[in-house]
Amino acid sequence: MTSTTAGQLGGASRGKGSSVLLKLGYALLYIVLIVVAALQLFPLVWLLFFSLKSNQEVFNLPPLSLPTNPRWENYGKVWSAGNIDTYFLNSVWITVVATALTVVLGSLVTYAITRMKWKGSSLVLGLFMVAMMIPVHSTLIPLFSMFNKAGLIDHPLSLILTYVAFNMPITIMILLGFYYALPREVEEAAIIDGCSVNRMFFQIVLPMTGSVIATTSIINMIYNWNEFIFVNTFISSDSFKTLTVGVQNFIGQYTTDWGAIGATLMISILPILVAFLFLSDRIVEGMAAGSVKG
């Protein structure tokens, strides 16, 4: 994004009189954009301050005030509370594996549904769509007894299978909108060249959908990273629990240590923030890569 391209938004066909108006419009637009950006950054700043407060200060001080004695020890408390490193690693690998599986499998299904010709494709699509309509709490008891019988309770596979299955429908739905818009010409040419379905999918279609893959990856990643109901229900050993459980360490029978919870949330948001910033750029790159080949 360079400054020369900034002006292109308004089009070239305007006279001099409206250019003042145009500049005013831009100024206004930027003011709005900056104000909104400040509002969107506010939660992060708030969370940082929140994590440095004691329970007294959390409730007594205005949300955006820094406590007089920032309690950095909240972070120490969180870190020393045991197992957080295990939880952290579990969060990372379970999130990565589940996200990758969901996006790859979801892409395969979407490809088959939108591009291949077969009876029952709309029925299958319907089946996937219905699967996102069940409230999570209805599924806990049946899923627990199922995994229990399969011997998968207290096993990370129960989490991965659940995450993939529950995020698959929404992933497919999002992919769907993009796949419909993909030009068919490239594929047609490839088939004439004798390209197989697999090669076409992995070498032509997947790269073309880079931006939506980045999008769905971000969404899946956030969902999996923040999930805690299934973790609590299926996992009982500390060695398989994830970071979201760390928050619970500070919710007591009668009192809650809010500052420590803030610190846990702050620690757990950092890796996903980094991953997000990285993937977020891939949205644009993916688009560029796609348009070169398209």
Partner 1 sequence: MDKVMSNKKMIALYVLPSLLLIMAVVYIPIVLTGYYGLNEWNGIGAMKFVGLDNYSALIQDDNFWSSAGHSLLLAVFSALSLILYLIVAMVLSARLKGSNLFRKIYLIPMLLSSVAIAQLWLKIYHPTNGIMNSFLESIGVANPPAWLAEPSLVLFALFIPILWQYAGFYILIYYAALKNIPTSLEEAAKIDGANAFQIAYKIKLPLAMEVIKVTIVLAVVGSLKYFDLIYVMTDGGPNGASEVMASYMYHQAFRAYDFGYGSAVGFFLLVICLIATWIIRKMTVTKDTIQYS
Partner 2 sequence: MFKKKWSITLMTTLCLAMVAAGCGNNGNNGANNEGSANGGAAESDSKKVTVNFMHLWPEGVSAGQNKIVNQIINDYQAEHTNVTIKQEVLDNEQYKNKLKVLSASNQLPDVGVTWAAGFLQPYVEGNLFTPVDDVLGGELNGKFVAGTTEAYAVDGKTYALPLEFNIAPIYYNKAIFEKYNLEVPQTYDQFKQVVKTLSDNGVAPIALGNKDRWTGSLWYMYMADRFAGQETLSKAIKGEASFTDENLMKAATEVQSLVDGNAFVKGFNGLSNEEAKSEFTNEKAAMYLMGTWELPNWTTNADIPQEFRDKVGFFKFPTVEGGKGDINSWVGGPGVGLFVAENSKVKAEAKAFVEYFVTKWGEQSVTGAGVIPATKVDTSALELPQLYIDLFNEMNQASSITLFADVQMPANAAETHLNMIQSLFGKAVTPEKFAQEHDAAVAK
- Binding residues among 233-292 for partner 1 as defined by CB under 8 A: 244, 247, 258, 261-262, 265, 268-269, 272-273, 276-277, 280-281, 283-284, 287, 290-291
Could you say which of partner 1, partner 2, none residue 287 binds, taking C-beta under 5 to 8 angstroms by partner kind? Answer: partner 1
How many residues bind to partner 1 according to rule CB under 8 A?
A: 106
- Residue type for 287, please? M
Give me the least distance between CB of 62 and partner 1, in Å please.
7
- Binding residues among 170-229 for partner 1 as defined by CB under 8 A: 170, 173-174, 176-178, 180-181, 188, 191-192, 196-198, 201, 211-212, 214-215, 218-219, 222, 226
DSSP the chain: --HHHHGGGG-S---HHHHHHHHHHHHHHHHHHHHHHHHHHHHHHHHHHHTT--HHHHHHS-TT---SS--THHHHHHHHTSSHHHHHHHHHHHHHHHHHHHHHHHHHHHHHHHHS--TTHHHHHHHHHHTT-S-HHHHHHHHHHHHHHTT-TTSHHHHHHHHHHHHHHHHHHHHHHHHHHS-SHHHHHHHHTT--HHHIIIIIIHHHTHHHHHHHHHHHHHHHHH--HHHHHH--SGGG--THHHHHTTB-SS-B-HHHHHHHHHHHHHHHHHHHHHHHHHHHHHHHHHHHH-
Of 39 and 254, which has the nearer Cβ to partner 1? 39
Among 47, 157, 269, 283, binds partner 2 (CB under 8 A): 157
Among 96, 115, 154, 289, binds partner 1 (CB under 8 A): 115
Which listed range, 56-64, 66-74, 78-86, 92-100, lies at the site for partner 1 (CB under 8 A)? Answer: 56-64
Residue 123 binds partner 1 (CB under 8 A): no
Could you say which of partner 2, partner 1, none residue 112 binds, taking C-beta under 5 to 8 angstroms by partner kind? Answer: partner 1
Residue 21 binds partner 1 (CB under 8 A): no
Give me the least distance between CB of 282 and partner 2, in Å please.
17
Distance CA 10, CA 19 (A): 9
Residue 28 binds partner 1 (CB under 8 A): no
Residue 86 binds partner 2 (CB under 8 A): no
Interacting residue ranges for partner 2, rule: CB under 8 A = 54-56, 58-60, 77-78, 81-82, 101, 104-105, 140-141, 144-153, 157, 161, 196, 198, 202-203, 206, 228, 232-233, 236-237, 248-257, 260
